[in-house]
Chains A and B, each alone.
Chain A
Amino acid sequence: MSEDNHEPSRTKVPMPIATLSDPHMGDAARNPQRAEGIIAVILVVAIVFIAGFGAAYWQNWNPWIIGGTLGLGLFLLGFGLTAWGKYLMPQGPFVEERHVLASSPEERDSMAAALVERSTVVVKRRKLLGGLFAIGAGIFGIVALFPLLRSLGPVPGTSLDTSDWRKGRVLVDSSGRSVTRDTLVVGGIMTVYPAGLQNTDQGQAVDQTVLIRVQDSNLVTAKGRETWAPDGYVAYSKVCTHLGCPVGLYEQQLELLVCPCHQSMFNVRNGAIPQFGPAPRPLPQLPLYFDTDGILKAQAGFDQAVGPGFFERTTTQENGT
């Protein structure tokens, strides 16, 4: 049952002069004197705290004293002001009429008329100009996006498909030390990078690899990968195939790599196939070999592109040889 909103209800005439004894002007507090006293005390405490803040800052006391005095001081100041407004100021209730938002039907008509008639006058007579302008504005709308987006950065190209691992690259840790047969014992894990790239952003973000020793004899994680894990040293990309977090969490008895971000779990023994969680694909594996000096090196790049999925990604991609 809504009232007719175009007709104001009976408008009240405001009383020309209100006296202080008018109930609408009265205090909400039952005992205004006491309320004023309490608020006064609160404000005095607030002043003390605010002054204390000044002192605390000037004397460089603990951060929590600086913050505590500021917070309490301001809070009590606000509390006092609000209490004053709530208990000792006129609460009313007062009323005001809403003015009608809507214009009259005639005014609406005339607005619509202006829009339609004037544009008809112009466009009907100059169709060509209207069309040309529309085309120009439309094209600008599209090409305006070009600098806004394209100048920001490069196109991905093939960068997302490849890493820096190549045949013969030495695996090094974050200090640049290479890996030999006794670097890890069974159950050990370390993060490795291509030699020379351990301190670069690219090396850390894209090439980061976990090296795990699962057993002390040759490990076959999948068909076709018979030589990839010599002496049980197996290497997988550390970039999670879900959203790219480093998969650094290794449970040696379960032989499980867990991604700390969203708890995808990868079985290390059979090719880092995801056993649980949202990761869709196994972690790419890096084929390894020990050279004649006993230094661990990569046979080739990863078996596929590292990291999360993107539109142009194909599973048949090989990267680096």
Chain B
Amino acid sequence: MSSPRTQKTARTLRTKLLLPGGLLGIAALGTLALVFPGVAQASTTKTQSLSASVKACGSVNLRGVSGVHNTGNPFASTTLTCFDGMVIRYGSSAIIYTNPPRAFVSAGKLLFDQTCSSCHGSDANGVSPSGAASIGPNLQGVGAATVDFWITTGRMPAADVRAVEAERKTPRLTDKQALEVAAYIESLDPAAPAVPTPNLRGADVSDGADLFSLNCAACHTITGAGDALAFGTNAPTLQNKQITPQQVAEAIRTGPANMPRFSGNLTDAQVRDVVAYVTEKIQHPSNPGGAGLGGVGPVAEGFIALLLGVGGLALICFWIGERT
């Protein structure tokens, strides 16, 4: 015989849990939805080892590292220290283009033979030993910047050669190794562009925003969230904080995969401005209004309005009114 106490507990559990549970569920879902886009982005960057700014002086760079006491701000100085003590002065240049030192070529050839030749041919010419076309394209004449981009973003070596486009992932080679391979490829057939290092001091973020909306937003979206393109290709997100200014400049100048190549139609100053805009405002968007919802606009907003807004309020109606 169940006691009144058990009855009461059972009743309490049912009535006290159902509605608050429902509301909590909605709140949890909503919070997840608000947080998730940010979380989703963060998770893809967690395993990346590259960091844009803080590299100790003396380690491999050509990447805009401050030569002055590791301040952590690569853009605080107008000079760079380069590997082996080579110093580059920006002067008034918006971007400095440098090829990796000749000394890297032999190490680069070794790496290339081990890592890349199986797909790109033993001479990087797109021909496999049997004489047929290899899986990977001819790399002779692509230039150091192209090689550096593909390797430092982890797209190469490709994980799945049958994929429509290689995706960004944890790089298999270190920065230095990337430059070594780039040096080797560049030595086979010298070509522009060399590895660009943008000087973000003096960048005009407003000009960058204007150029970004005219040239980049059509594929990458105005908030840089990235989106799907035709036939399985896609424009990757630019909000990933692992993307370095150098990689942005490389992508603009070399046009990797289906991305167009911006050469004479954008000056170095304009490219530098776009790079500054991407690294400042795309990667660190101004979201004073609250959770950014992934920057995909009305799709996410509609989801929240319907689920949290009307769903939550309907749950409250359910509480207020009768259920029969």
Is A162 in contact with chain B by the CB < 8 A criterion? Answer: no
Name the distance in Å between B240's Cβ and chain A's nearest Cβ: 20
Q: Report which of B257, B289, B290 forms a contact with A253, defined as CB distance below 8 A.
A: B257
Q: Which residues of A contact B257 (CB under 8 A)?
A: 253
The stretch among A112-120, A135-143, A257-265 that forms the contact with chain B is A257-265
Q: Which residues of A contact B230 (CB under 8 A)?
A: 251, 254, 256, 258, 263, 265, 276
Q: Of residues 241 to 270 in B, which have CB atoms within 8 Å of A's CB atoms? A: 255, 257-265
Is A40 in contact with chain B by the CB < 8 A criterion? Answer: no
Contact, CB under 8 Å: B259 / A188:
no
Contact, CB under 8 Å: A252 / B264:
no
Q: Which residues of A contact B320 (CB under 8 A)?
A: 82, 86
Contact, CB under 8 Å: A184 / B258:
no
Contact, CB under 8 Å: B259 / A252:
yes
How far, in whole Å, are A179 and B263 apart by their CA atoms in the complex? Answer: 12
Q: A63-B289, A188-B255 are in contact. Are A173 and B265 (CB under 8 A)?
A: yes
Q: A252-B258, A263-B230 are in contact. Are A184 and B264 (CB under 8 A)?
A: yes
Contact with B along A225-257 (1 / 0, CB 8 A): 000000000000000000000101111111010
Name the distance in Å between A205's Cβ and chain B's nearest Cβ: 14
Is B59 in contact with chain A by the CB < 8 A criterion? Answer: no
Q: Which residues of B contact A86 (CB under 8 A)?
A: 320
Q: Which residues of A contact B261 (CB under 8 A)?
A: 185-188, 252
How far, in whole Å, are A35 and B150 apart by their CA atoms in the complex? Answer: 66
Is B166 in contact with chain A by the CB < 8 A criterion? Answer: no
Tell me the dominant secondary structure on chain B's binding face.
Answer: loop
Contact, CB under 8 Å: A174 / B214:
yes
Name the distance in Å between A182's Cβ and chain B's nearest Cβ: 5
Closest-by-CB residue of B relative to A174 is B214
How far, in whole Å, are A284 and B263 apart by their CA atoms in the complex? Answer: 26
Is B306 in contact with chain A by the CB < 8 A criterion? Answer: no
Name the distance in Å between B302's Cβ and chain A's nearest Cβ: 17
Contact with A along B203-225 (1 / 0, CB 8 A): 00000000000110111000000
How far, in whole Å, are A82 and B288 apart by their CA atoms in the complex? Answer: 33
Is B233 in contact with chain A by the CB < 8 A criterion? Answer: yes
How far, in whole Å, are A188 and B253 apart by their CA atoms in the complex? Answer: 10
How far, in whole Å, are A288 and B255 apart by their CA atoms in the complex? Answer: 25
Q: A64-B290, A265-B230 are in contact. Are A187 and B214 (CB under 8 A)?
A: no
How far, in whole Å, are A251 and B255 apart by their CA atoms in the complex? Answer: 10
How far, in whole Å, are A307 and B259 apart by their CA atoms in the complex? Answer: 25
Is A47 in contact with chain B by the CB < 8 A criterion? Answer: no
Closest-by-CB residue of A relative to B259 is A252
Q: A63-B288, A82-B320 are in contact. Are A251 and B233 (CB under 8 A)?
A: yes
Q: Report which of B233, B262, B265, B288 forms a contact with A254, defined as CB distance below 8 A.
A: B233
Name the distance in Å between B133's Cβ and chain A's nearest Cβ: 16
Which of the listed residues B230, B233, B261, B263 has the most CB atoms from chain A within 10 Å of its own CB? B230
Q: Which residues of B contact A63 (CB under 8 A)?
A: 288-290
Q: Report which of B229, B264, B289, B290 forms a contact with A258, defined as CB distance below 8 A.
A: B229
Closest-by-CB residue of A relative to B207 is A175
Q: Which residues of B contact A191 (CB under 8 A)?
A: 214-215
Closest-by-CB residue of B relative to A259 is B218
How far, in whole Å, are A256 and B218 apart by their CA atoms in the complex? Answer: 13
Contact, CB under 8 Å: B289 / A252:
no
How far, in whole Å, are A254 and B260 apart by their CA atoms in the complex? Answer: 11
Q: Which residues of B contact A248 (CB under 8 A)?
A: 214-215, 217-219
Closest-by-CB residue of A relative to B218 is A248
Which of the listed residues A173, A188, A276 has the most CB atoms from chain B within 10 Å of its own CB? A188
Q: A173-B265, A184-B264, A188-B263 are in contact. Are A254 and B258 (CB under 8 A)?
A: yes
How far, in whole Å, are A190 and B255 apart by their CA atoms in the complex? Answer: 13
Closest-by-CB residue of A relative to B265 is A190
Is A189 in contact with chain B by the CB < 8 A criterion? Answer: yes
Is A19 in contact with chain B by the CB < 8 A criterion? Answer: no
Q: Which residues of A contact B288 (CB under 8 A)?
A: 62-63
Q: Which residues of B contact A252 (CB under 8 A)?
A: 255, 258-261
Q: Which residues of B contact A258 (CB under 8 A)?
A: 229-230
Known: A184-B264, A250-B218, A250-B219. 10 other contacts (CB 8 A): A180-B264, A183-B263, A185-B263, A248-B218, A249-B229, A251-B229, A253-B258, A256-B230, A265-B230, A276-B230
Which A residues lie at the B interface, using CB under 8 A?
62-64, 67, 82, 86, 173-174, 179-180, 182-191, 246, 248-254, 256, 258, 260, 263, 265, 276
Which B residues lie at the A interface, using CB under 8 A?
214-215, 217-219, 229-231, 233, 255, 257-265, 288-290, 320
Enumerate the 8 nearest inter-chain pairs by beta-carbon distance, A residue then B residue, closest first: A248-B218, A251-B258, A183-B264, A190-B265, A249-B218, A187-B261, A189-B260, A185-B263
12 A-B contact pairs sorted by A residue (CB < 8 Å):
A182-B264, A183-B264, A184-B264, A185-B261, A188-B261, A188-B264, A248-B218, A250-B219, A251-B233, A252-B258, A252-B261, A260-B219
